[in-house]
Amino acid sequence: MFTQVLRWRNRLTAFLFDTAMIPVAWLGAYWIFFNLRRIPADIIQPAVLWILPFIFLQASMFWLFGLYRGVWRFASIPDLTRITKAVIMGVISILLIFYLARFPFALPRVVPVLYSLLLIGSLAGARVTFRWLKDYRHFFRDCQRVLIVGAGYAGEGLVRDLLRHDNHLYQPVILVDDNPFKLGRDIHGVRIAGKFDDIPDLVKYYDIDLILIAIPSASSAEMRHVVTICEQTKIVFRTLPGISDLAKGRVDIKLLRDVSLEDLLGRDQVQLDWFAIGKDLQNKTIVVSGGGGSIGSELCRQIAPLGPKQLIIIDNSEYNLYCIDMELKKKFPNLIFQSLLLDVTDRVGVHHVFDTHRPDTVFHAAAYKHVPLLEQQGRVAIHNNVLGTNVLANAAVEYHVNKFVLISTDKAVNPANLMGATKRAAEIICQNLQKHAITNFITVRFGNVLDSAGSVVPLFRKQIQAGGPLTVTHPEITRYFMSIPEASQLIVQAGLFGQGGEIFVLDMGEPIKISYLAEQMIKLAGKKLGHDIDIIYTGLRPGEKLYEELFYGHEELHPTIHNKVLLANASNVDKNLLVNILERMEKAYNHGDEHVLCELLSQLVPEYKNNFNHSTETKLYSVTATS
């Protein structure tokens, strides 16, 4: 009720103002006609006499053309159009009445023209002035002076929103953009004053208090460059979300947030053929092993909305399985799925699941992956990652699964640690089965994923919360990084166009120094490196390399239909030797002989050099290009 009263009060005020401008414009037209001198009495008297009918007619046109449906605060071109139409129709009505009524006094022909111009100018000018005062009243307040990075669509929208924002706590002072054609131009009266590299100097010159980054389409490399420059200014900076988020709504100051790790280490938005992926997985029974883990759970989230016939989630962690089960029930109430507490090494349990549900596609994400932890526990690592993959892959063959997608790792390339060697062995198993089965085995290999369980990001986060220090093994150690959603989406995409036998390598972009990652996490947490939190270097751990590789030297990469998925050459494996080693591994595991297990792993993956001596080295590979 109060809002309605307030709205009508505002409309009435606007109407009274516009009505008051009618006699002002009418008499002003006469005054101008007589060169701003005294108007003769025989002219002014009839003009004043008939002013009331003119006011009535003109005011009626104001209401008829909807001058009071808009808000002065947001007056724009459509409002000017309505004013012009209302005034012109008012003048035409006045002229018709004047000539039809045959008034005895003369009406100079130029007066209606002057009247129209004066009335349009006064009404439009009042609205523009009101909007200007609303937009710029914060100039006279204690507000933060803002530099906006990016003069594109997002930058323009941000300037507009800052100028119109009710609280007016921010004053957009300048913009910067690396496009040379934009330099020197204005956006809503705010000058594009320089390029990104000029930010430190511009901050000092214009006394800037806050930097807002409005380049949602920037790659991680571009964002890192901008953030590095902004950090030099020692003032606060914020950013807008990515372009995919902005596509859901208009640019708004409320969307501004702190720069996140994903902004710096994430990459360009993945473009997928969701129609084809959905067609491939729709009405299919899908099994995701390790479905409660970082990658496995995200695979479930990506598959769930695509309309599978049934989603079977396998995991040996009760808590992880419970979490993804509850999430899917809430987000996808119509999804038919089962969460099964099962270890992939349980041959009886795996065969029961495959026999019961007859899956069409399997995404194998179940694996132990923590490098230092597994170095000292070869028996369980080999049992889960190698023998577990063998159990699941052979079940897929026996029950005629159409596609089996193995999620592998860059650590499988020239492995320097036990975990990498076990994942390479898993690749070998799938490559071997491909040649003797109708199931299409597809391997997808990529690097680290941001914020996955047990990775460096949550470790650093805990160390920051504890007050530090952050532990980095070596100043020069680098790793490839990819976001969990991006990795999962590309896995699904690779599974779509894989025909069997391929090793797909995801384009991981440029490697990132772990020391840079640690420094950025400290800064993003609002701490100062060396003052609040330190970084200490502890030395490389057993099995740890300074840098990771995504493919072997003999695995020449070939492009695919997706620019972020590359195809590597596969290696032939001696089937009899592979079967023999796996059988001996099974026996060694049952006898608890870790020494023999690791020797057998080294035979299966000759490039893996471990601490166990073995006298027999067998050449297993001959390179074959996979098309």
Catalytic residue list? 411
Q: Where are the beta strands (DSSP E) in 177-229?
A: 186-187, 190-194, 210-213
From residue 424, give the alpha-carbon distance in Å to each of 387, 406, 446, 558: 12, 11, 13, 20
Q: Characterize the bridge pairing of strands 403-409 and 440-446.
A: parallel
> Three-class SS of residue 359?
coil
From residue 263, give the alpha-carbon distance in Å to each of 255, 445, 450: 15, 23, 11
> Three-class SS of residue 465?
helix
How far is 168 from 381, CA to CA, in rounded Å? Answer: 59
Neighbours of 394 (CB within 10 A): 18
Nearest CA among 184, 188, 189, 182 for reference residue 215: 182
CA 435, chain centre distance (Å): 40
How far is 606 from 599, CA to CA, in rounded Å? Answer: 10
How far is 149 from 211, CA to CA, in rounded Å? Answer: 7
- Say if residues 386 and 605 touch (Cβ distance below 8 Å): no
**Hey, what are 396's tokens?**
């897929």
- Beta-bridge mates of residue 404: 362, 441
How far is 450 from 484, CA to CA, in rounded Å? Answer: 6
| SS3 readout for 399-441 | CCCCEEEEEEEHHHCCCCCHHHHHHHHHHHHHHHHHCCCCCEE
- Tokens 């300037």 locate to 159
How far is 426 from 430, CA to CA, in rounded Å? Answer: 6
Neighbours of 465 (CB within 10 A): 9
Amino acid code (one letter) for 32: I
Which uninterrupted H or E stretch holds 338? Answer: strand 337-341
How far is 539 from 287, CA to CA, in rounded Å? Answer: 40
Listing DSSP states for 365-377 in one string gives ------HHHHHT-
